[in-house]
Amino acid sequence: MRLKNLSVIAFVMVLSALSLGNIFAYGVPFEMNLPDVFHNLFIFLDAVVLLYFLWQGILFKHSYVILFALVQMLLYGAVMLLSPSVVSSDILVDNISSVMYLVINIVGGIIIVFALEYIESETFTRVRKNSFIAMLFFFLAVMNFIVSTNNIEIFFLLFELTTLCSYVLIGYRGDELSKKNALQALWMNQIGGVAILMALIFSILQYDTIYFDVLITNSEPLYLLPIVFLVLAAFVKGASIPFENWLLGAMVAPTPVSAILHSATMVKIAPFLMLKLFPAMSGFVSLTVTLIGTFVFFSASLLALSKDYFKEILGLSTIALLGLMMALAAIGTPEAITACLVLIVFHAISKALLFLQAGILEKSFHLKYVDDIDGLVNRSPLVVFFIIIGFASLTLPPFGAFIAKFMAIESIAGEIHNNPLYVFALIFLALGSVFLTLLYFKVMTKLFAKEADNKSQYVKISKYYTIPSFLLLALLVIGVYISFEREFLSSLELVVPLLLIAVVPLLFATLLFQKADRVKEYNCGEKDEIQLSMYYFHMPRNVQLTISVLATLGMWILVLGVLL
């Protein structure tokens, strides 16, 4: 086992070094074509994956999985019958790909190191434990390939392989709930596969190509169906409302799966694809995607405030920030693109840090809900520290997520003179930012709340848990330094927030409230339960339904607007 762990750590270090080397040692863009034998292999793999999906649908009697597998087979057959003549490079590595390599390999690699200890506490056989780590590495391999390809047909295969990986990993525990949620993730992500195949067909018919760069360069404002279908695939993979349930359902999987899905791999396909497509977007498409993305940011942030399950809170905040990333990519100005890339990187680091703490809470403390974390500061101040830093890095200066949101406000405000409807996007962004900040304070205040009856003792955390957390913390510090070097922040804007983030929790834990406990009142010798209204508020079912309907309507408007 020690040899396996050392091998995994060494391989993660090699991947991280290669990613950094790509940034600093090699020029971009890099282009190349793959031999025909690879194209034939990819066709074979496409057929195998689609047949596997169909088999799983039949095996579990799931009509949606069967339906979308059959539809994809028919559409893929149509793609095979068409013969596009305009060719380009199969591999195209640009600056965006290079940034994605850093996120995938460094952040994803740290999560895999964390998974070494986590998976040992599961009741799997040794083979299944080792297979779990291997599957995570395979996930990273697919993601590295998907951000490198310029061929939409290859992109479709890799898109489906990420769906396959998520299906296997979400259902890895094998219980009924895991199987149910895995099947839900499977059929929902197949909608994205259908959208990519539709984009391929329309691209071949109109532009005679299956390559991203040719399609984007030659796209006409009056015929953007291929672009719009690819945008829809991004919304599906990014779990945007109304497709959010597949990502929220992934919480039943082992926590490293949630961490790697939310931070380093699959959902990041969504903003990456938007960044590739924005040069071809018309004013209407750009505006509509921006409105949908900021609406998702607002809605998911609001929904997160009503939740108590810690991983669900993290999941909804991920969906919210992915919506904002896609909105920024659709705007396409240099400032908006910079903000999107900054948000991609910082979100990956921060969300990985938070999900790692969720895994520690689950395994070391058997805690899953915010309501149950009273007195955690006494049991593990280090975990509390990491949770505070994780949420602060998503909401407060001087971290990159705050900088990105500030730049997003400027970018969207700058578009209002082009179209007054951007005002709505600005309102959604402002409200969503407020809700995410409230979410941070909601969790933080609960971390320091203590009951007089709580006699919890200090718990020692494994080094395989703490070292990955410290590495992610170091990445956040490096990110703050780079932000200062690039003059995103002044010295005052850097120092003051850091002092507040460091001093306020210290005061809570030591000087001001060290002996302050929450004592329950007595009624006839019985203690009252204390419920603080800031932790919970009721989100009516009809409000959630309205949010889903509005988001769905926005996507229909996007498609119909291009058609008409």
Cα–Cα separations (whole angstroms), residue 343 to 62, 238, 271, 410, 494: 37, 14, 10, 15, 18
Judge whether residue 195 has pLDDT over 80: yes
Contact 200, 210 (CB under 8 A): yes
Judge whether residue 71 has pLDDT over 80: yes
Contact 315, 563 (CB under 8 A): no
Identity of the highest mean pLDDT range in 62-76, 166-180, 335-349, 497-511? 62-76
pLDDT (0 to 100) of residue 497:
64
- For 122, half-sphere exposure in the C-beta direction (CA atoms, 13 angstrom radius) is 23
Contact 239, 162 (CB under 8 A): no
- Lowest-confidence region among 15-24, 39-48, 515-524: 515-524
Residue 533 pLDDT level (bands cut at 50, 70, 90):
very low
- Lowest-confidence region among 118-122, 273-277, 343-347, 504-508: 504-508
Specify which residues 523 forms β-bridges with: 526
- Lowest-confidence region among 231-245, 341-355, 528-542: 528-542
Which one-letter DSSP state was computed for residue 122?
S
pLDDT (0 to 100) of residue 529:
55
Judge whether residue 370 has pLDDT over 60: yes
Contact 342, 302 (CB under 8 A): no
Residue 409 pLDDT level (bands cut at 50, 70, 90):
confident
Mean pLDDT, rounded, for 473-493: 76
Judge whether residue 386 has pLDDT over 70: yes
Judge whether residue 75 has pLDDT over 50: yes
Mean pLDDT, rounded, for 58-75: 93
Mean pLDDT, rounded, for 131-140: 91
Residue 259 pLDDT level (bands cut at 50, 70, 90):
confident
Judge whether residue 411 has pLDDT over 70: yes
pLDDT, averaged across the chain: 84
Identity of the highest mean pLDDT range in 14-18, 121-125, 358-362? 14-18
Cα–Cα separations (whole angstroms), residue 184 to 158, 171, 197, 434, 530: 19, 10, 20, 31, 37
* Cα separation, 480 vs 474, whole angstroms: 10
Q: Which residue has the higher pLDDT, 398 or 409?
A: 409
Judge whether residue 535 has pLDDT over 80: no
pLDDT (0 to 100) of residue 505:
59
Which one-letter DSSP state was computed for residue 251?
G
Helix (H) or strand (E) holding 92: strand 91-93
pLDDT (0 to 100) of residue 502:
63
Residue 129 pLDDT level (bands cut at 50, 70, 90):
confident
448-451 contacts at long range (C-beta below 8 A, 24 or more positions apart): 448/377, 448/384, 448/505, 448/508, 448/509, 448/513, 449/374, 449/375, 449/518, 450/374, 450/375, 450/377, 450/378, 450/516, 450/517, 450/518, 451/374, 451/375, 451/517, 451/518, 451/519, 451/520
Mean pLDDT, rounded, for 441-466: 69
112 CB-near residues (< 8 Å, 6+ apart) = 8, 12, 133, 136, 137, 140, 256, 260
Q: Structure pTM?
A: 0.88
Identity of the highest mean pLDDT range in 197-206, 490-499, 534-543? 197-206
Residue 282 pLDDT level (bands cut at 50, 70, 90):
confident
Judge whether residue 510 has pLDDT over 70: no
Structure tokens at 392: 């602060």
Q: Which residue has the higher pLDDT, 15 or 526?
A: 15
pLDDT (0 to 100) of residue 266:
75
Burial class (CB in 10 A: 0-12, 13-18, 19+), 245: middle
Judge whether residue 521 has pLDDT over 70: no
